[in-house]
Each structure stands twice: as structure tokens, then as C-alpha cells.
Amino acid sequence: MIDMDPKSDPRNVLDKYKGWELELIKEDVQRKTFPFAVLMGQLDHDFNIGTVIRSANGLGAKEIFYYGPKKHFDRRGAAGTYKYSHVEYLPGGLEEVANLRERYTLVALETGEDSVEIEDFVWPDNSLIVVGEESLGIEPDLLKICQHKVRIPLLGSVRSYNAAVAISIAMYDYLAKYRKNNVQKEHQQISTGGWEILSQ
């Protein structure tokens, strides 16, 4: 079933989704996600939350989590994408974040010297990419929960990236490496007769 005439659908969605009911769009978007998620910790500048949700939707994040002093955030930056992706507020804070380790490997975006350069980092399966405040970074208690730390190079004068920009770069790096790795695996399996070649 469709919700409206595709030609009169004003929503900021792909043309293929024009006229679709919200739940059908959400189901189709979720079907095309990749095995990674994002976590935003205590983002006072809540416009960043909407921007991260928009990027996570576009780059195929399976789930989007955030925690902090308030559940409400400025939705303008999300361009409606919060309706179609799995977005979850964690009212229990760090306790709930720690529970996510049962499903994900937590990877912090940090500029410290002990962080691995992103171009050299091998993303674990089911990575949860963690970002904190632009000025304060990831709070120490959250950083202790993370299993890896990754640094994005800074080549200019600024000491850090905007939080939404940083996590978008990390998501793209994860996605590019994941897809490249799976193409290589597919070729290896095909060459050994392990897979049937399916029509595209």
C-alpha cells in the first residue's frame, strides 16, 4: 500500500520511496544496513545529534544510540531520517552503554597518541563507533568501556573535528573497508568453488 501520490509526496526521501508508508520505508532501509552502529555521548550541542543520524542513515548504520542529560534534540539536522532509522536514547547512561558490549565492539574516536590511525585500523565485526563532545572529547568513564581507540588525522590548525564530521568520516571508512573485504572474500570463495555465482 502507498501513503500518498508519489508526485505530491513532500518528504526528503529517495524517489523510489515517494508514496511509500513510513513503516515500509523503515523496513527497507533496515534491510540494507551494515553490521555497525554509532553512539553519541553527552552531546550538549544537540544539533550534532540530528546531523549524525542523517549521516548514519545515509551510510547504512544498523542502529544509532545516544545518551546524555536530555532525550529531546534539535531534529532539523536529521532531515527526517530519524523516522526511518533505528534511533534509541539510553536513559541509563553508561550502564546501558556497557550492556551494548554484548552485541558490539566499542571503538572510540579519540585524538590521543595511543589511538590507531584510522587508515591503519582494521574494524572489528559489529563495531559501535563512539563519539563525544567536541571540546571535551569522550568522557573518561565511557572511554574505559571502549575496546579500541581510533584517530582521524588533522592536517591543518584545528585541534579536533566537529563531532558529526568525525563520526561520518569513521562510518565511511568502516563501510569502504567492509565492502572491500567482502568482495575479496567472495572472490576467494568463488575461486575455490565455495560459492555459486548468482546473477546480479
pLDDT tens for 57-97 read 999 999 999 998 888 888 888 988 999 999 999 999 999 99
Global pTM reads: 0.86
Q: Identify the pLDDT of residue 174.
A: 97
Q: Identify the pLDDT of residue 108.
A: 97
Tens of pLDDT along 102-140? 999 999 999 888 999 999 999 999 999 999 877 678 999
Q: Identify the pLDDT of residue 124.
A: 95
Cell numbers of 56, please? 548514519
More confident of the two residues 111 and 188: 111
Domains by residue range for the chain, with CATH: 33-191 (3.40.1280.10)
Report the distance separating Cα 129 and Cα 167, nearest Å. Answer: 7
Beta strands at 148-151 and 87-89: parallel, antiparallel or unpaired: unpaired
Q: Identify the pLDDT of residue 195.
A: 38
| pLDDT at position 42 over 80 | no
Whether 145 and 12 have beta carbons less than 8 Å apart is answered as no
Q: Identify the pLDDT of residue 200.
A: 37
Report the distance separating Cα 186 and Cα 98, nearest Å. Answer: 34
